[in-house]
Amino acid sequence: MNKFSTILSHTYITKVKTKSFIFSTLITLLIIAGLANFQSIIDMFAGEDSGEIAVVDESGVYTEALQQSLAAADENIELVPFDGTVDEAKAAIQDGEYGALVVLTESEAQIFDATYFANTITESGNQMIIEQHLQQLKIAIATQASGIDEAMIAEIYAPIAFEAVALDESAKTEEELNQARGIVYVMLFVLYMTVMMYGQMIATDVATEKSSRVMEILISSAPPITHMFAKIIGIALVGLTQIGLFIIVGYTLIRSKQEELVGGVFELFGVQDTSPMIFVYAIVFFILGYLLYATLAAMLGSLVSRIEDVGQLTTPMMMLIVIAFMIAIFGLGAPESTFVTVTSYIPFFTPMIMFLRVGMLDIPIWEIALSLGIMVGTIAILAYIGAKVYSGGVLMYGRSGSLKDFKKALVLGKKEK
């Protein structure tokens, strides 16, 4: 146990001290800070480049109506009637006097036609807003002309009341489903990132020790299985440190901007008032999922003798997690399909897909227990095989990257008595 903690703390400390860890953590924290201040940043730039928009209005009656319409919608667009010809207005835009130009021409069929001129039309925000308001304006004018009452118009355009109600009493309500969907999203994403990052980290770390041949000394001091699990848990702690930092910083930032953000973010992820059980499941599935993939990664790492080959060997593992992710995304829309049910029992997919089902559906406890059992069993088997392959693999040098190596490592690691 003493050796276990030595390896664990060594793995943890050396990893946390690396430049790549510090940089990636800092950059992610910056991104989080950026996201938290997203609105302020947008506002900061928005004020500058909106600019005045010139309007050349042949009839002279629409400009005011459009201005009113924009003002009513609280849009940050200023319309300025332009006295002069269209060509003069265009020249004024090219000189930078105005941001854009809207030309309104009367038309038989359409009441009026509009043309939008700007130096570039890549920024579509203002265009769309103006188009939208002109559309409304046209409807208003047209209906007025045909003598329909405005209240009637509002009625026609009002959205219908549509609500989905589940009859099964234990089934989740729409609101609950939305919340679950949010949590499932977060979980899927976190698990996906974790396996991608830390799985790779484990495989690379093992391969580094192997390629620098320090492994031979390490496993002559401590049993390979101790070494393997100390490494897996050490890196799990590195991951927790990193994710923990993100959560603390993220949470603090959100708290400090409570008014703007809290409702939005929490509603988005549906974490406001969900049952605590779902969090327990999230943690259980997350831990098991990590262990499963980490064991696999350590085993794969032990098979290569050059760091360059790590990618080649871990690709199938990455594919597994990508497939799991994709099934899960599909499953969010159709959690009850047979396909999702079946795949939720495949241990490599369970942490994502069974969790999705737990979150979205009302699943009997035995199904959850069964899938957890299968996962624990698979982890045990993987750990057993992994430890054998590991003890053989770390003694194996040469070209690597095939199943043959896997067999060879198993033979090397075989206990003879």
Partner 1 sequence: MTLVLKEVTKRFQEHTAVDRLSLEIPEKEMFGFLGGNGAGKTTTFRMILGLLDSTEGEISWNGESIDYDKSHLIGYLPEERGLYPKLTVKEQLVYLGKLRGMKKHAILTELEYWLERFKVPEYMTKKVEELSKGNQQKIQFISAVIHKPELLILDEPFSGLDPVNVEMMKEAVIDLKDQGTSIVFSSHQMHHVEQLCENLCILQKGSPVVHGALKDIKRSFGKKNLIIHGDIDFSFLKDFQGVTSYQKGAQGCKLQIDNEQVFQDILSAIQGKGFIRKFDLEEPSLNDIFIAKVGASYE
Smallest separation (angstroms) from partner 1 to the CB of 10? 5
* Among the listed residues 6, 39, 127, 274, the single contact to partner 1 using CB under 8 A: 6
Q: 246 exposed, middle or buried (CB, 10 Å; 0-12, 13-18, 19+)?
A: middle
Q: Which of residues 378-397 bind partner 1 (CB under 8 A)?
A: 391, 395
Asked whether position 209 contacts partner 1 by CB under 8 A, the answer is yes
Q: Which stretch binds partner 1 (CB under 8 A): 52-60, 219-227, 270-278, 321-329?
A: 219-227
Would you give the DSSP letter of residue 414? -
DSSP 132-149: HHHHHHHHHHHHHHHT--
Asked whether position 20 contacts partner 1 by CB under 8 A, the answer is no
Name the residue nearer to partner 1 (CB basis): 57 or 209: 209
Q: How many residues bind partner 1 (CB under 8 A)?
A: 27
Name the residue nearer to partner 1 (CB basis): 7 or 317: 7
* Among the listed residues 219, 294, 356, 372, the single contact to partner 1 using CB under 8 A: 219
3-state secondary structure of 21: helix
* Contact predicate 375/288, CB 8 Å: yes
User: Which pair of tokens denotes residue 388?
Assistant: 């054998």
CA-CA distances (angstroms) from residue 129 to 67, 71, 122, 126, 259?
A: 12, 12, 14, 5, 27
Asked whether position 190 contacts partner 1 by CB under 8 A, the answer is no
Measured N-to-C along each axis, helices 174-194 and 350-360 cross at an angle, to the nearest 10 degrees, of 170
Name the residue nearer to partner 1 (CB basis): 153 or 395: 395
Q: Residue 409: name the closest of 191, 166, 210 by CA.
A: 210
Please give the Cα distance from 265 to 271 (Å, whole number): 9
Asked whether position 404 contacts partner 1 by CB under 8 A, the answer is no
Name the residue nearer to partner 1 (CB basis): 230 or 356: 230
Helices and strands (DSSP H and E) totals, the chain = 18, 4
DSSP 361-376: S---HHHHHHHHHHHH
Name the residue nearer to partner 1 (CB basis): 228 or 324: 228
Smallest separation (angstroms) from partner 1 to the CB of 410? 12
Name the residue nearer to partner 1 (CB basis): 228 or 278: 228
Q: Which stretch binds partner 1 (CB under 8 A): 216-224, 300-308, 313-321, 351-359?
A: 216-224
Name the residue nearer to partner 1 (CB basis): 87 or 416: 416
Name the residue nearer to partner 1 (CB basis): 1 or 109: 1
* Among the listed residues 55, 102, 202, 215, the single contact to partner 1 using CB under 8 A: 215
Q: Which stretch binds partner 1 (CB under 8 A): 123-131, 311-319, 366-374, 406-414?
A: 406-414
Strands 52-57 and 78-81: parallel
Asked whether position 218 contacts partner 1 by CB under 8 A, the answer is yes
* Among the listed residues 2, 20, 120, 170, the single contact to partner 1 using CB under 8 A: 2
Q: How far apart are the first and last CA of the chain?
A: 24
| Residue 331 half-sphere exposure toward CB, CA atoms < 13 A | 31
* Total count of residues recorded for the chain: 417
Q: Which stretch binds partner 1 (CB under 8 A): 4-12, 32-40, 161-169, 272-280?
A: 4-12
Would you give the DSSP letter of residue 195? I
Kindly give, in sequence order, each residue whose CB lies less than 8 Å from that of residue 314, ignoring residues fewer than 6 positions away.
199, 200, 203, 297, 300, 301
Asked whether position 306 contacts partner 1 by CB under 8 A, the answer is no
Please give the Cα distance from 167 to 337 (Å, whole number): 19
Asked whether position 139 contacts partner 1 by CB under 8 A, the answer is no
Asked whether position 31 contacts partner 1 by CB under 8 A, the answer is no
Smallest separation (angstroms) from partner 1 to the CB of 6? 5
* Among the listed residues 49, 123, 174, 216, the single contact to partner 1 using CB under 8 A: 216
Smallest separation (angstroms) from partner 1 to the CB of 311? 20
How are strands ordered across the β-sheet holding 100-107? 78-81, 52-57, 100-107, 111-118
Residues that bind partner 1 (CB under 8 A): 2-3, 6-7, 10, 14, 209, 212-223, 391, 395, 411-412, 414-417
